[in-house]
Structure 1
Amino acid sequence: MTPITADERGLLAAAQAGDERAFRSLVEPYRRALDVHAYRMLGSIHDAEDVVQETLLRAWSSLERFERRASVKTWLYRIATNACIDELERRPRRPEPSVDPYPDDRVPDADPAAHYAQREGMEIAFLTAIQRLPARQRAVLILRDVLGWTGAEVADLLDSTGTAVNSALQRARATIEAEERAVAPGATQRELLRRYVDLWESADIDGLVELLREDAVLTMPPEPSVHGSSAIRAFFAGVHPGGAPSETWANGRPAVILRGHRLLVLDVEGDRIAAIHAYRDPAVLAAFGV
């Protein structure tokens, strides 16, 4: 990591003298990246927001102990990662991990040294697999393979050794590589998204159902899932499509925003929709501007 910059030294000095505005200017350039890092670690937009707030509070309270040989980015990632690990260790173990959708346009560009490309580092299948890892393995995999940090940098951040970091990385990779990986968004997904939005706006239930695989599923946690295109047709008839939906992308998948209602994330297989995942959590909707 690069050392602290000249501009940051000035802001740091002012912040250490008690200037809260200087502190906000010091940390703001890293805020979005910290949000995404915490989201990857926790799988929850709401929990990630809480952890980033906790990170900034910890940073402010420990500002006088900041060592200028390190970069501000490294320092903040250290605090955020440890805050995520603390949160994970407090949580009860979840038998079936779940991951909130995340807006594609809020994800910073991937580091060229990263093992996974930006798209791969945000796929739902990948992030769900990460949620099955122990907290420290999770941190090592994200820092090394998604963010492109070196083994020495990760060992320093986690107060660990290079040997321990490499061992954790190998175990984490073995778990991830056993999972199915989603395909990249292509022309078919984009066309299906446009057609879905148009058909919903015109309340064309028959057209919407034609986009589905026969064995498609509609998930609406915590409500029961709806299985099969015929059952989904009946559900659509009850919710009365229409209005002005809008297109977006979540974790590399096509998605639809139903204003004031829900976010729908579409799983596309071939030229049909295999699953529709509906979300109405206010934190998730807010992330997409609803």
Structure 2
Amino acid sequence: MERRTFLQALGAATAVSSLPLRAQDAPGAGRITLLHTNDTHSRIEPFGPGSGNLTGRGGMARRATMIKQIRATTPNLLVLDAGDVFQGTPYFNEYKGFLDYRLMSMCGYDAGTLGNHDFDNGVDALVAAMSEAKFPFLNCNLDAKGAPALAARLRPHHVREFPGVKVGLTGLCVDFKGLVSPKNHVGVDWRDPVESIKPVIRHLREVEKVDLVVVLSHLGYDLHGYAMDDLHLAKLVPGIDVIIGGHSHTFLDAPVKVGDTEIFQVGFAGVNLGRMDFTVRNGLKLASSGMAVPVLA
């Protein structure tokens, strides 16, 4: 039954049609698929017995297989992560994040961002683990000038181009206050996400001329007004097409639309793989769809 559910979900995830088919087939249109995770927290193996409705879900091997299957039929594909890869199982205690980033690289991740828990062992330990990552880390609101080794690994933005579509990516991190011990972010200061991201969005739109702007956000989906979150970010910053979220462990079955921005987050621990499909032309979204695909062992 679980396998049947997985196959049904995976098949449904290939449907790219929130608008009529003729919109997707418009001359000059390009398609792009985004697969994404958040808050995986070193969940290398599936949840074991006694984990309630999470029993048997998750695991890097299953996720890798799903990504490989989708990649085989989806040439325009980006695999992304919204932070908090670290902390949560004995695998992190033993391997300090090295294993997580190595396995993500083997899965073919294209970009990621940092969350608060990724600083749990300090900046030097984070940078050491990042050596296993074969993908860029994106962030525009952490000032790491005081930590040159980390600054060298962070990019404010990243552009990927496919036939018919150009994608611009950036990332944001939640405020460290109350979440990260000062000794664990020495040389790294948090900056206001709204003011930090505005010039990046402007650069991606006006200089890079991207068709789709994607933000990997570790701010949280809805923090009920006590801190900046994805819902408020979408309202305050024009020009964002997609927010792939993390931090709040929010389970969404499909993207939530705020104005022209689509926000998606798929829980935690890798129990779901998010999928979003877009058809664009000259910076205009012609069609979009998205769903959370369960990762079943």
Same-fold status (TM-score > 0.5) = no
More strand by share: 2
The TM tier, using the shorter chain, reads under 0.3
Higher relative contact order, chain-length normalized (CA < 8 Å, sep 6+): 2
Tell me the TM-score normalized by structure 1.
0.27
Tell me the TM-score normalized by structure 2.
0.26
More helix by share: 1
